A = this chain, B = another copy of it.
């Protein structure tokens, strides 16, 4: 395992090399799926794009579905990182500040991981059934996480768990819709879009604040 060499660079170990072409395959899938969907990507296209012969694909994945699941995994890793960032500062400011900050973080992440976001947005609806199911499950998990998070917010102490889930679901579907809009929008429409999204979320919060009082 002679990894180091006299010079500046390190010699690539066998495992490193393998990991690199695995990444190349994933990146190829991500890029090729951009038009249409994963189901529209052929093994051979992926292999060519990654710079290997078609049959070498099987050294890394058993099937196209496996590629899809791997992409779902890594997409949600970065998505969870985003959620953690949103949740960070414990103390609540005003609702407006929370919404603003969250939207800023969302926008940033969508830009930085555009390919991943586009991937889950697409494959959630189309895409191999296994992949669809995996994504549905992950989103449900996020929703659940958000619900337990909302329970810690001031003012929701005596809410039923059902109501917490209703609000969580509402927020998730709104954010998903917003993310999709950001993906579809041209840059110059972005500010306008965010302003609308901001008010949408605020309206939801107004609804939540006044819940059970009517």
Contact = CB atoms under 8 A, between A and B. Distances in A.
Interface in A121-168: 121-129, 136, 162-163, 165-167
Contacts of A136: 184
B169 A196 contact: yes
A61 interface: no
Q: How large is the interface on A (under 10, 10 to 19, 20 to 34, 35 or more residues)?
A: 35 or more
A51 interface: no
Contacts of A199: 162-163, 166
Interface string A192-214: 00001001100111111111001
A116 to B, nearest CB: 15
A163 B124 CA distance: 30
A21 interface: no
A35 B122 CA distance: 14
A166 B95 CA distance: 17
Contacts of A45: none
A173 interface: yes
Nearest to A121: B125
Contacts of A102: none
A203 B200 contact: no
B37 A37 contact: yes
A167 B203 contact: yes
A211 B199 CA distance: 10
Listed from nearest, the 4 A-B pairs whose CB atoms lie closest are A207-B207, A126-B126, A36-B39, A173-B177
12 contacts: A35-B129, A37-B37, A122-B125, A123-B126, A125-B125, A166-B199, A169-B196, A170-B204, A173-B173, A173-B177, A206-B206, A206-B210
Interface of A: 35-37, 39-40, 121-129, 136, 162-163, 165-167, 169-170, 173-174, 176-177, 180, 184, 196, 199-200, 203-211, 214
Given A39-B40, A170-B204, A207-B208, 12 more contacts: A36-B127, A122-B126, A125-B126, A125-B180, A162-B199, A165-B196, A169-B177, A170-B174, A173-B174, A173-B177, A203-B208, A205-B207
